């Protein structure tokens, strides 16, 4: 089954063709990072306009790279939630038009489910059930993946996402947007114990997290140093920050994996590319005996191949939509 997939939930327009949920025939991404970097973050209206400009040509390119004609498309999958509502609407409405024109099924895909499915593209032998740590700019959650389409959130952030913290701290430091990769590079050679940064605990919900306190502590530390004319040891600050984030995520992911007993732990989302978090998870899994699944770096960020992959399994489960499909800024992953 050849699925044409569309992703437009934030600041990257993407189109891909995926065969039978596991084989990527093409994966095209048009990034808007350079434009949003000027503002230090995503401007929703600009993102939506850029999606409108790019999506049609990108879908055409995805088919050409896959070597397929329009008639060889068997279904159209699209991110319908969650995300910036204007941006998501662009992808949903385009996918509706394609599905109608080709008389093919329209398959709605939850964006975070797509990130989880990125692991299937990297690891053909991975099958549910497993626990997945989902960490991105908009989501931080530990998910029980019971089957390809049955999922439950075991724990998550009560406020800011881990990726948002990376972005905000990097913006205040003036080292670029998005903040994950610059902070990761900056941490090279730094002393991760030099700066004491908080790790939050949610009483009565041991798998839940909070990052607002960490973000505030970092911003206060930076501003205080600037006001006093003191120079921060930037590599050590970035390393200390990365350690604080990792020590908030990794123990909870390992505890969730222990509770479920699957012996398989996956990671998904843009923050899954962070070297410190990957290394800490690898070390923890060596100790616990869990098998760790990490997506290729090209599948960590937003892309349409992951949407096409998950779309295949949603289709097999009978989850298709009509032309009344709406877009949602927020949506529980368990609802699909």
Give residue-wise pLDDT tens across range 272-310: 999 999 999 999 999 999 999 999 999 999 999 999 999
Q: What is the pLDDT of residue 31?
A: 78
Judged on CB neighbours under 10 Å (0-12, 13-18, 19+), 310 is buried
Domain 2-115+299-335 has CATH 3.30.420.40: yes
> 3-state SS string over 47-87?
HHHHHHHHHHHHHHHHHHHHCCCHHHCCEEEEEEECCCHHH
* Spatial separation of the C-alpha atoms in residues 57 and 59, rounded to whole Å: 5
In this structure, which topology does domain 129-298 adopt according to CATH?
Nucleotidyltransferase; domain 5 (3.30.420)
2-115+299-335 and 129-298 have identical folds: yes
- Band of the pLDDT at 107, cuts 50, 70, 90? very high
How many Å is the Cα radius of gyration of the chain? 20
pTM, whole model, 2 decimals? 0.94
Domain ranges of the chain: 2-115+299-335, 129-298
Mean pLDDT across 58-62: 98
pLDDT tens digit sequence for 166-219: 999 999 998 877 788 889 999 999 999 999 999 998 889 999 999 999 999 999
Rounded to 10°, the helix 111-122/305-316 angle is 100
């Amino acid at each position: 089954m050849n699925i044409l997939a569309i992703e437009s939930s934030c600041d990257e327009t993407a189109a891909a063709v995926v065969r039978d949920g596991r084989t990527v025939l093409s994966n095209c991404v048009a990034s808007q990072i350079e434009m949003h970097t000027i503002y230090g973050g995503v401007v929703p209206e600009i993102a939506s306009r850029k999606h409108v400009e790019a999506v049609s040509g990108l879908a055409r390119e995805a088919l050409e790279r896959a070597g397929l004609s329009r008639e060889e498309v068997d279904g159209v999958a699209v991110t319908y939630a969650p995300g910036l509502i204007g941006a998501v609407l662009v992808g949903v409405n385009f996918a509706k038009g394609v599905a109608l024109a080709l008389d093919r099924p329209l398959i709605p895909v939850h964006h975070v489910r797509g990130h989880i499915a990125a692991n299937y593209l990297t690891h053909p032998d991975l099958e549910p059930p497993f626990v997945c740590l989902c960490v991105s700019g908009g989501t931080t959650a530990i998910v029980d993946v019971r089957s390809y389409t049955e999922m439950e959130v075991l724990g998550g952030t009560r406020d800011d996402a881990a990726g948002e913290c990376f972005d905000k701290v990097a913006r205040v430091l003036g080292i670029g947007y998005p903040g994950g990769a610059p902070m990761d590079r900056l941490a090279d050679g730094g002393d991760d114990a030099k700066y004491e940064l908080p790790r939050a605990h949610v009483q009565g919900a041991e798998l839940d997290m909070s990052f607002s306190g960490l973000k505030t502590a970092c911003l206060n530390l930076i501003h205080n140093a600037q006001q006093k004319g003191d120079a921060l040891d930037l590599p050590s600050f970035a390393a200390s920050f990365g350690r604080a984030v990792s020590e908030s995520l990794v123990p909870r992911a390992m505890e969730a994996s222990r509770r479920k007993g699957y012996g398989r732990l996956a990671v998904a989302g843009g923050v899954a590319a962070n070297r410190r978090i990957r290394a800490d998870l690898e070390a923890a899994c060596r100790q616990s005996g869990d098998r760790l699944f990490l997506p290729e770096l090209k599948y960590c960020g937003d892309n349409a191949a992951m949407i096409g992959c998950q779309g295949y399994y949603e289709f097999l489960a009978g989850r298709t939509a009509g032309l009344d499909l709406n877009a949602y800024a927020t949506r529980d992953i368990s609802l699909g």
